Structure 1
Amino acid sequence: MDLQELIKLCLQASVIISVYALGLEATPKDLVFVLKRPALLVRALLAMFVIMPVVAIVLLKWFDLPHALQVTLVALAISPIPPLLPKRQSKGGGHSSYALGLMVCMALLSLILIPLWLHLLGSIFGQSFSVQMGAVTLVVLKMIIGPILAGMLVRALVPAAAQGMLRPAILLAGWLLPLAGLIVLLAMHSALLEALGHGAWIPLLVFIVIGIAVGHILGGPDADSRLVLAVSTASRHPGIAFALAAFNFPQDRGVPALIALYLLVSIIATIVYMKWLAKRTADQPEAAES
């Protein structure tokens, strides 16, 4: 097994186990949370699948970016919500039902919206784009829908066992993710250093910060909803972005390193945002009392 296969295995295992752990705590009400709140769903769709692809197009039109960075931005912009999102948001106080329902809903909608955006992008840039929808569907089923349903099934049939599995699953997933990150740094350190040296992190950071701002604004007055939508809008699914880029531009070998760089920058940016929002929320009652 080479390093690339080991990275893929660790990332997939971490994601699948994390989502399975979410399923161990999830209820059917969580899955339909956003469907019963159409205003939240429409704002999420607008933020994640309309505004962010437009932001990527504007960045490509306004700035003379390297081709690999162009491919990375477009692939990320039309990729759906990442499967690790609810766990990350719950640490910051985000509404877990909203996060979980949004994750499932966006994953399913991506099967329709990704081909539509590829067609629009082809018209805008005068180039034909396509994707193996079987590969995207497999990612969605294997990494999101399947593990959630499996966890929910265990919870429904053997609730005591589900409670016993929860902590070990979270711990295992928590160890696998940094292990994968360490392997990525070791395997791609030259490409990552080159991307950093060329300033590739700046357009990625701009994309992420705009995503956080858009989600924060469209999230509404509730702090938890703002947190969920802000982090959701800035975050994308690296697995599907890899699949889109590899199918359309297999010759761009710098894309995997740029997607890895995006993951690193997005984690740092969202942590800063969550700390800022938590402090702002904590300060508001004090300001009101004074």
Structure 2
Amino acid sequence: MTLAQAIPIVISISIFLMVTTIGLSANVRDATVLLRRPGLLARSVLAMNVVMVAFAAMMCLWLDLAFATKVAILAIAVSPVPPIMPRKQLKAGGDGSYAIGLLVAEILLAIVLVPLSIELIGKLFRVEAHAPVARVLTIVLISVMAPLLLGMLVRRLAPDMAGRIARPLSLAATLLLASAVLPILFTTSGAIWSLLGQGGLRVLLAFSLLGLAVGHLLGGPDAKDRPVLALAASARHPGMALAIATFNFPEQKPEIMAVIVCHLIISIVAAAGYIALVRRSRRMQAG
């Protein structure tokens, strides 16, 4: 097995563990919260699936970016909320139920929205591009729904054990993700700079910052909702993005993987900055 083949597997395992950890603190009411808040659901879809996809498409149309960079950016834009987000959203003082509900809603909507978005983008850029429903559904079931349900089941049947294993699982997932990301940075550093040097890095940064701003604004008046949508809109599911992009352009896999990893790092840094600002603002208001 080559490094390029091993890294997506390690990322998938990491995501599985992260979502299982989320499930250990979730229940059915959390997962279905947006069914009872249709206005917030509509704003969430507008921020993540309309505004951010439109921005990515415009940037790729207007700027002279490398082909692999364009493919990666568009795949990132149409992918759903990343499974690592709920923990960060809670750190920012976000509503835990909304964070989990948004994860579930976006993942389920992805079964329809991702194939539709890819078809529209293919027509816009006049290229043959597809995201079969069966492939998206498989990713959704394996990477999110199965581990989320597993975690929720453990919490229901053995709540004490759920509390004990949550932290070790979270740590293991983080270490696995780091072990997958670092080799890509070291082995493809030259390719990364050549791909992102022509404006790609600025687009990835702008994508994350715009997502934070749009999500914060569309999050509504509740201070606990704004950070949840802000952080979700700025980041994406790296496994889904990689699967979509490499399904259509397998010969570009190393370059696409490098760009997606760069976006993951940028979104994590941007999220950390946003969380610090939100916490500082709340301390000032409290004081």
What range is the shorter-chain TM-score in? Answer: over 0.9
Report what 2:89 is aligned to.
Answer: 89
| Matching residue's letter, 1:42 | A
Matches within 5 A, 1:74-113: 74-113=74-113
Matches within 5 A, 1:217-256: 217-253=217-253, 254-256=255-257
Offset at 1:196? 4.8
Aligned-partner Cα distance in 1 for 2:50–2:144: 22
| Matching residue's letter, 1:34 | L
Report what 1:261 is aligned to.
Answer: 262
Deviations 1:237-288 (A, max 9, x none): 11111111112222334211111111111111111111112212222344xx
- Once the two structures are overlaid, the 10-residue window that deviates more, 37-46 or 152-161, is 152-161
**Matched residue count:** 286
Matches within 5 A, 1:37-116: 37-116=37-116
Matches within 5 A, 1:21-36: 21-36=21-36
Q: Using the aligned pairs only, state the percent identity.
A: 40
Q: CA RMSD in A?
A: 1.7
SS in 2 for 1:35: helix
Q: Are the equivalent residues in 2 in contact too, given 1:107–1:140 (CA < 8 A)?
A: yes
Q: Are the equivalent residues in 1 in contact too, given 2:63–2:199 (CA < 8 A)?
A: no
| Matching residue's letter, 1:46 | L
Aligned-partner Cα distance in 1 for 2:151–2:107: 17
Q: Are the equivalent residues in 2 in contact too, given 1:223–1:281 (CA < 8 A)?
A: no
Offset at 1:124? 2.2
| Matching residue's letter, 2:59 | L
Aligned-partner Cα distance in 2 for 1:97–1:127: 40
| Matching residue's letter, 1:284 | Q
SS in 1 for 2:82: coil
Q: Are the equivalent residues in 1 in contact too, given 2:14–2:173 (CA < 8 A)?
A: yes
Aligned-partner Cα distance in 2 for 1:20–1:188: 31
- Once the two structures are overlaid, the 10-residue window that deviates more, 144-153 or 273-282, is 273-282
Deviations 1:36-60 (A, max 9, x none): 1111111000001111111112112
Report what 2:124 is aligned to.
Answer: 124
Q: Are the equivalent residues in 1 in contact too, given 2:66–2:195 (CA < 8 A)?
A: no
| Matching residue's letter, 1:268 | V
| Matching residue's letter, 2:24 | L
Report what 1:151 is aligned to.
Answer: 151
TM normalised by structure 2 equals 0.93
Q: Are the equivalent residues in 1 in contact too, given 2:69–2:196 (CA < 8 A)?
A: no
- Stretches of structure 1 lacking an aligned partner (at least 5 in a row): none
| Matching residue's letter, 1:249 | F
| Matching residue's letter, 1:221 | P
Q: Are the equivalent residues in 1 in contact too, given 2:68–2:195 (CA < 8 A)?
A: no
- Stretches of structure 2 lacking an aligned partner (at least 5 in a row): none
Report what 1:281 is aligned to.
Answer: 282
Report what 1:2 is aligned to.
Answer: 2
Structure 1 segments of 4 or more deviating over 3 A?
A: 193-199
Structure 1 position 271 matched with structure 2 position 272 = yes
TM normalised by structure 1 equals 0.92
Deviations 1:173-229 (A, max 9, x none): 232222222232233233224345444211111111111111011011222211110
Aligned-partner Cα distance in 2 for 1:182–1:64: 28
Aligned-partner Cα distance in 2 for 1:134–1:94: 33
